[in-house]
Amino acid sequence: MEKIAFNRGWDFVFECTDGFISGDPAECEKVDLPHTVKETPFSYFDESIYQTVCGYRKRFAVPDEWADKRVFLNIGAAGHACEVFVDGERVGAHLGGYTAFRVELTDALKPGTQATVALRVDTRESLDVPPFGYVVDYMTYGGLYREVSLEIAEKTYIEDLFVIPEIPDGEAILDGDESADEVAAVSFTGRVEAKLELSGEGAAQVRLAVTERGSDDVIAETTLPAGGELSIAIPGARLWDALSPKLYELEAALVADGKTLDVCRISFGFRRARFEAEGFYLNGRKYKLVGLDRHQSYPYVGYAMPASIQRLDADILRRELGCNIVRTSHYPQSRHFIDRCDELGLLVFTEIPGWQHIGGDEWQEIAVENVREMVTQYRNHPSIVLWGVRINESRDDDALYTRTNALAHELDSTRQTGGVRYLKKSSFLEDVYTYNDFVHSGENEGCMKKADVTPDTSRGYLVTEYCGHMFPTKTYDSEEHRLGHTLRHAKVLDAVAGEKDIAGCIGWCMFDYNTHKDFGSGDRICHHGVCDMFRNPKGAAALYAAQQDETPLLEITSSMDIGEHPASVRGPIWAITNADSVKMYKNGSFVREFTHADSPYKNMRRGPIAIDDFIGDLIENGEGYPHKQAELVKQILNYTAIHGYGKLPFGIKLKAARLILRYRMKPDQAYGLYGKYMGNWGSAVTEFRFDAVKDGKVQKSVTKTPMTSLSLDVRVDHTDLREGDTYDAAAIRIRAVDQNGNVLPYCMESVSLAAEGPIALIGPDRAQLRGGMGGAYVRTVGAGGKAALTLSLDGAESVRIEFDVTKEDR
Ligand code: GAL
């Protein structure tokens, strides 16, 4: 089947009329897909601004060769109801904004002429389709926000191809300790079953050919009669695993009388993924899941971002945040995102659209249809390990969920089902009990016991949300508050790590998102992310990032500015690192080495390490005190630095008494020592340096000194932009940093943005910094060449990013 990208040069009207649909001249905007019906402000806007019945229209030539072909329009998503017309004649419709659909145009086209395809897209939240009907905690931007293609098929063509990879029983089972290289070396004879759905008559044979993804060398090939069972053996096959996600491609070619009628290529991977009573197993080994929930929204353009930006989120989750699973809350997401999850070995839990509300019969029919679309459209992705077949956090509805669960199993016998609820011991129809555990509120336990939540402990159990609304946290909140956010995530991660029968936990959520009036902080934002809306990390992100080994990580939770804290009491400070230990130096003098053994978070991999000694041997050496006296002084000063003088516990008072009685120290002396070793007031500059040490080598250093100069730290995801099937975009993450590269959390200035050459800004020409961080996006505009973006901030040197835009010929 020939696929023609159909993304450029659509006519768009915000309010659709019958005349627009039937092709009357109209004043319209020229747009490319993915498209948002309304560019929004960053915050403080009402959801009504993107709700409309809008129109998209495109005129195209219908060549003579299409006379004996079938022609389809494939729409990646249309939020949230869509009717399709050709030259004014209605040819199809679709309800629901989160899945792809295909409309046949064949009978309405006249080969050798021009045709106009028009789409009426209803973006209103008053529609009777999931997720609508009650309130929803996320904005539901509408329009043609994914790509569209024209598909040209012979009369006989492949309607669908479901590839089922099989690993022989008892082979390629990992036992737990293998490294990525060892996993990559595991080899077996794999088998692939190809379930082909054909349309039309006359196909005689199917030729199957397998290649490694990215290579044209055929490693297995066979030709079989069409209509029979289709399978092929692959000797020397390798595993798709989180550590080594090997991908293959199966090409199925439909052949009749020596002529190839249709060809379909599908990526696949060999893996076993199973939730059991004791946890989750990937390729035989127990694998604790740690991840984040992801919405598909972005500042300004809602859902509408092209492939590279969708893929970037998977990279951020896997590579920057060290996650091994993502939940696509609360709907199926871009195929580009899922493709990248396949490539990175990032596991996925995907679910049908919806939020708490279950509608009437027609609404429920759409929910069931959503299961069909989700499973058939995504079941070839090895990264997907679980289907969510309930409306997120809805009440029990056995009639509906018996249907959704059965349908998912019927369409895909290889995967288990779940369904996210906030109900304990609710009706358990699926394979895995997936539960949003919001029990942790700061002081109490991190998670509930599996046995207290699920009605059947003999089946799998996964925590699918925690934190979130329990502690909204802005990048510009006080240090205390931001630390509280981090420690709450730590508490849950640690608690779940300690529960052997919980498969893992997926935190709420990856990044802040725009939301409806009923939620969020009044600014139409839920500040629930471990990243901000531009995917800049908040402190809590470091906990996830510390789990990966590729990039050295060291995060110190304090700026060391005591004036930030009530009564100038610095409070507890934590180091989060993926190194073995952290060495602290004050003004160049070694104070102490802290290791993971010092962490009270004993279960999780690399929990926060308390930095609770700011003195080390400095007093003993500097004041010439006997060891015991210096120790007592140190303990008292460290205690007061963290907790203040307010309420000294009995133990500390006793130590003070010993100093006075035994060593004849006067309170004045203690104040003096406090000023010298803790307060550091008036000293030239106090420098704290933290070195993260791994295998005896310093991997990363963080230095904290009072801010003296401001600069821009700008990160762009890619500078080689490609105008291919549609426009490309680059994500620019911006941070205001001090002379040591530390983010300045209260820098709220705005950065001006100036684009040159064949790119345009997405959103405003200023990037507002919030919490010292912000972002921008640029997109290509249909031409190739050199382009640049200059970022300027008062008081800092400007930064210029250069782009190369390549326009592909098509
Ligand atoms: C959950 C819900 C999420 C989000 C979260 C905030 O109840 O499933 O969509 O609203 O709360 O913590």
809 has a pLDDT exceeding 80 = no
Question: Does ligand 1 come within 6 angstroms of the Cβ of 507?
Answer: no
C-alpha 437, offset from chain centre: 20
Distance 609 CA to ligand 1 centre (A): 29
Q: Label residue 137 by pLDDT band (50, 70, 90).
A: very high
Amino acid in the structure at residue 261: L
| Residue 400 backbone phi and psi in degrees, to 5 | -65, -45
DSSP string for residues in 620-657 = HHHH---HHHHHHHHHHHHHHHHH-STT--HHHHHHHH
**Percentage of the chain exceeding pLDDT 70:** 100
Q: Tell me what the mean pLDDT of segment 388-402 comes to.
A: 98
What confidence tens digit (pLDDT) does each residue in 21-42 have? 999 988 999 999 999 999 999 9
Residue among 471, 337, 476 nearest 774 (CA) = 476
Residue among 417, 428, 436 nearest 456 (CA) = 428
What confidence tens digit (pLDDT) does each residue in 408-417 have? 999 999 999 9
Q: Label residue 684 by pLDDT band (50, 70, 90).
A: confident
Which ligand 1 atom sits closest to the C-alpha of 467?
A: 12
Distance 330 CA to ligand 1 centre (A): 10
Residue of 349, 351, 436, 438 to mutate, ligand 1, most atoms within 8 A of C-beta: 436
Active-site residue identified among 369, 465, 555, 620: 465
C-alpha 355, offset from chain centre: 19
Question: Does ligand 1 come within 6 angstroms of the Cβ of 393?
Answer: yes
- The C-alpha atoms of residue 182 and residue 174 are separated, in whole angstroms, by 10
Q: Tell me what the mean pLDDT of segment 47-68 comes to.
A: 97
354 has a pLDDT exceeding 80 = yes
Max distance between CA atoms of the chain, in angstroms, equals 105
Q: Which two tokens stand for residue 157?
A: 């063509």
- Between 12 and 809, the more confident residue is 12
Is this structure's pTM higher than 0.85?
Answer: yes
Q: Which two tokens stand for residue 403?
A: 């249907």
- Between 109 and 605, the more confident residue is 109
Distance 466 CA to ligand 1 centre (A): 9
Say how many residues make up the chain.
810
298 has a pLDDT exceeding 70 = yes
Active-site residue identified among 393, 479, 499, 620: 393
What confidence tens digit (pLDDT) does each residue in 608-666 have? 999 999 999 999 998 989 999 999 999 999 999 888 888 889 999 999 999 999 999 98
Q: Tell me what the mean pLDDT of segment 280-284 comes to.
A: 97
Q: Which two tokens stand for residue 144?
A: 């043609």
| Predicted local confidence at residue 512, as pLDDT | 98
Which ligand 1 atom sits closest to the C-alpha of 330?
A: 9
**Percentage of the chain exceeding pLDDT 90:** 93
Question: Does ligand 1 come within 6 angstroms of the Cβ of 465?
Answer: yes
Strands 113-122 and 53-62: antiparallel
Distance 437 CA to ligand 1 centre (A): 10
- The C-alpha atoms of residue 684 and residue 478 are separated, in whole angstroms, by 26
C-alpha 383, offset from chain centre: 14
Question: Does ligand 1 come within 6 angstroms of the Cβ of 379?
Answer: no
For the question of residue 465 being annotated catalytic, the response is: yes
| Predicted local confidence at residue 648, as pLDDT | 87
Q: Label residue 810 by pLDDT band (50, 70, 90).
A: low
Q: For residue 261, what are the CA distances in angstroms to 103, 221, 237, 353?
A: 21, 18, 29, 36
Secondary structure element (H or E) that encloses residue 668, with its range: helix 667-674
| Predicted local confidence at residue 672, as pLDDT | 87
Question: Does ligand 1 come within 6 angstroms of the Cβ of 436?
Answer: yes
Q: For residue 435, what are the CA distances in angstroms to 22, 60, 390, 426, 755?
A: 49, 49, 12, 10, 46
Which ligand 1 atom sits closest to the C-alpha of 519?
A: 10
Question: Does ligand 1 come within 6 angstroms of the Cβ of 392?
Answer: yes
Average pLDDT, the chain: 96
| Predicted local confidence at residue 667, as pLDDT | 82
Instruction: Using only the alpha carbons of the chain, give its radius of gyration.
Output: 29
Distance 131 CA to ligand 1 centre (A): 14
Q: Tell me what the mean pLDDT of segment 103-131 comes to.
A: 98
Residue ID of nearest Cα to ligand 1 atom 10: 137
Q: Tell me what the mean pLDDT of segment 579-603 comes to.
A: 95
Question: Does ligand 1 come within 6 angstroms of the Cβ of 342?
Answer: no
Residue of 134, 135, 137 to mutate, ligand 1, most atoms within 8 A of C-beta: 137
| Predicted local confidence at residue 466, as pLDDT | 98
Distance 457 CA to ligand 1 centre (A): 25
Which ligand 1 atom sits closest to the C-alpha of 526?
A: 6
Site of tokens 């209103």: 124
Residue 46: exposure state from Cβ atoms within 10 A (0-12, 13-18, ≥19): exposed
Q: Tell me what the mean pLDDT of segment 671-679 comes to.
A: 83
